[in-house]
Amino acid sequence: MNILFKNIRAIVPNGDSDEVKEVNICVSGEDIVAVGDVPAGFKADREVDGTRKLAIPGLINCHTHSYMSFMRNAADDLSFMDWLFGKVDPIEQKMTDEDAYWGACLAIIEMVKSGTTCFNDMHMNKMQTTKAVKESGIRAVIGRGIVGSMEGDKPDEGGLRRINDILEEREAFKDCDRMTFCLAPHAPYTVDAPFMRYISDVAKKEGMNIHVHLSESVSEIEGVKEKHGCSPIKLAADNGLFDVPCIAAHCVQVDEADIDIMKEHGVSVVSNPASNMKLGNGFAPIPAMLKKGVNVCLGTDGAASNNRLNLFHEMSLMALIHKGTERDPQVVSAAQVFRMATINGAKALGLSDKIGSLEAGKKADIAILDLNSPSLIPDNNLIAALSYSVSGSEVTDVMVNGEFILEDRKMKFLDEEKVYSKVREITKRIVV
């Protein structure tokens, strides 16, 4: 199907920055074929009037746990370890595969309705998040959270099973080009150093990237230094996790030496401002990372620790908190933050040739915002508005791979009321 977004304002790349222009966006099948003038010979099967609308590349949530959405507001105002092991882990132990599926569906609805078209997920239950992704039409990078240790020259039974789980999922969903897969060792306190090396070797063999939590809390730093005599960043580097493209989530408690290591190895850092603040873990030194040239992108983390999956909220926090902590109103600009939520995220996921910007030749992953929303009037600086004004409610339509998955604020392929009902049932049964 050929779709023409006619005379629509859009945020488009202009070298290393972005600008707002009134354009025509021509979509054919899964792809954007033109941004600007309508090419000769292009015949639209459907025209979308772009009057008082804004097109942006779909936002990219580079770190979340979608199944956790039914844990929203179930573990609040707790220290990090009490939150993780005292509240979240007991709920996860009671969670069924079907629970994880409905949790992922709820997360996808929330993300899509706030303009996210791709997310990088660390899940627990095989074939559930992947099922929700395939049915909903969203794009995703999927990793099974891996915990375990080496027993001699082999991983323990649980660790090996978790690796095999994600390889089986990759095979089962190889026909869905909206999904790619990675290996997701959980953290240095749940994966021992020899097992990190094993996972790295599997990643190299299978041509997969790595997604891992690193340097999230003070207790993690202290534990790793006591056991290994180094930081979690150096431990990961020394044991192969950075030998393949790696996304490191959080990186709150890092120093200059850690940042240098990440830059040297091309590690992408996913900052999750709301989660990091809520759990009392602090603020990642984003200005220092940007100064060193580290690729920084944005994530929400799971709904158990945020408690929302709205990247506009994270964009706002990212653009504000560092101005406050650095006492400098010019650090971490709204323009930089927009790139973190789009093209930087695509780069981190190894998808920058497909998504992250509105350009001919890329996949048609597009979010449409209503410029008649009060938060977008007046439209003095629309790129700044995305960080400082927008809440997410302005999103009216979302397209992924050239297909609308949200139209007029309604999900096309997920039954919203059924998802909400199922999640309420799950909450009554297992959330205490």
* Mean pLDDT per 10-residue interval, the chain, length 432 residues: 97 96 98 97 97 98 96 90 89 94 98 98 97 98 97 95 98 98 97 98 98 96 97 98 98 98 98 96 97 98 95 98 96 98 98 98 98 97 98 98 98 98 95 77
Please give the backbone phi and psi of residue 210, each rounded to the nearest 5 degrees, phi first.
Answer: -125, 140
**Residues 412 and 406: beta-carbon distance below 8 Å:** yes
pLDDT tens figures, 138-179: 999 999 999 999 999 999 999 999 999 999 999 999 999 999
431 in any annotated domain: no
**Residues 248 and 268: beta-carbon distance below 8 Å:** yes
| Model pLDDT, residue 432 | 66
DSSP run (H or E) holding 109:
helix 97-113
Q: Is 207 found in the same domain as 65? A: yes
Cα 289 from chain centre:
19
110 in any annotated domain: yes
Alpha-carbon separation of residue 230 from 151, 175, 184, 227, 260 (angstroms): 23, 43, 22, 8, 14
| Model pLDDT, residue 84 | 86
For the record, the structure tokens of 337 come out as: 């933050």
Task: Indicate the pTM of the whole model.
Answer: 0.97
Which structural domain range is residue 396 located in?
2-57+357-411
432 in any annotated domain: no
Q: Is 285 found in the same domain as 149? A: yes
Give me the DSSP letters along 359-405.
Answer: -TTSB--EEEEETTSGGG-S-S-HHHHHHHT--STTEEEEEETTEEE
222 in any annotated domain: yes
**Residues 326 and 287: beta-carbon distance below 8 Å:** yes
Q: Is 12 found in the same domain as 114? A: no
Q: Is 338 found in the same domain as 237? A: yes
Q: Is 166 found in the same domain as 193? A: yes
- Domain termination residue (choose one: 294, 325, 348): 348
- Domain termination residue (choose one: 294, 323, 348): 348
Residue 153: CB partners within 8 Å, gap ≥ 6? none
150 in any annotated domain: yes
> Looking at residue 231, what DSSP letter applies?
-
CATH number at 147 reads 3.20.20.140
107 in any annotated domain: yes
| Model pLDDT, residue 375 | 97
429 in any annotated domain: no
Nearest partner of 196 among 141, 225, 169, 234, judged by Cα: 234
Q: Is 406 found in the same domain as 386? A: yes
User: Considering just the CA atoms, what is the radius of gyration of the chain in Å?
Assistant: 21
| Model pLDDT, residue 133 | 98
Q: Is 118 found in the same domain as 156? A: yes
39 in any annotated domain: yes
| Model pLDDT, residue 83 | 87
- Domain termination residue (choose one: 312, 330, 348): 348
Cα separation, 129 vs 64, in Å, equals: 12
Q: Is 256 found in the same domain as 145? A: yes
Cα separation, 121 vs 137, in Å, equals: 15
Q: Is 21 found in the same domain as 68? A: no
Q: Is 310 found in the same domain as 279? A: yes
Q: Is 101 found in the same domain as 247? A: yes
Cα separation, 239 vs 232, in Å, equals: 10
Q: Is 221 found in the same domain as 148? A: yes
Count of structural domains within the chain: 2
| Model pLDDT, residue 241 | 98
CATH number at 369 reads 2.30.40.10
